[in-house]
Structure 1
Amino acid sequence: MKSSNQNNGPVEASNAALSLRQLSVADWQSFGAQEIAYIRPVLVNGVHAMAIHAADGTPIGAAPNAEMAIAAILQHEMAPALVH
């Protein structure tokens, strides 16, 4: 059985990413952006840390490691998302 949600390769993925970047704040809110957060590695005063961002990219915090960042996200009743 074929899935109706097929990925047609890098061009389609690139178009999807571009579309997401063009969403307005209201669009992000309708997708639940205030309920989702992601983490990414950063340097804070020369020390490795994990930055915590809302789904729309707004910085909302930092933690010394991924485990603590995810715990902070969960403590604030948000869902952590993995990004690559």
Structure 2
Amino acid sequence: MSEDKNSFLTRAESLSTRAREMSGQELLMLGVSQVAYCRTVMQDGTEMVAIHAADGTPMAIAEDEASALNAILEHEMVPALLQ
């Protein structure tokens, strides 16, 4: 793995850890350009995965969770897990 990718993953893991302890308002203040989350949706009768910015703005739709996660990481964003 390249050093740039290692550095990015380290930053992402750190931010992801901090994000788990943040309130909804704090996540919004973190910035929509840094954090994204996924939600399962139905589109034309097919289950898909919608990608949303931290403020809930829809950004994209992927065929599955793995594709959604890859898209988030490719755009140098941090995926947030919803509970």
TM over 0.5: yes
- Count of aligned residue pairs for this structure pair: 61
| Identical-pair percentage | 43
Q: Which moved more, 1:58-67 or 1:30-39?
A: 30-39
Match of 2:57 in 1: 58
Aligned counterparts, 1:1-84, within 5 A: 20=25, 28=28, 30-84=29-83
* Structure number with larger C-alpha Rg: 1
Give TM-score, length-normalised by structure 1: 0.65
Structure 2 stretches lacking a partner, 5+ long: 1-22
Which one has more relative contact order, counting CA pairs under 8 Å at least 6 apart? 2
CA distance in 2, matches of 1:54, 1:32: 9
**Cα distance, 1:52 vs structure 2:** 0.2
Considering fraction of residues, name the structure with more helix. Answer: 2
RMSD of aligned alpha carbons: 2.0
Following TM superposition, the consecutive aligned residue runs of length 4 or more in structure 1 with deviations greater than 2 angstroms are none
Q: Provide Cα deviations, 1:48-81, integer angstroms capped at 9, x if missing partner.
A: 0000000000000010100000000001111111
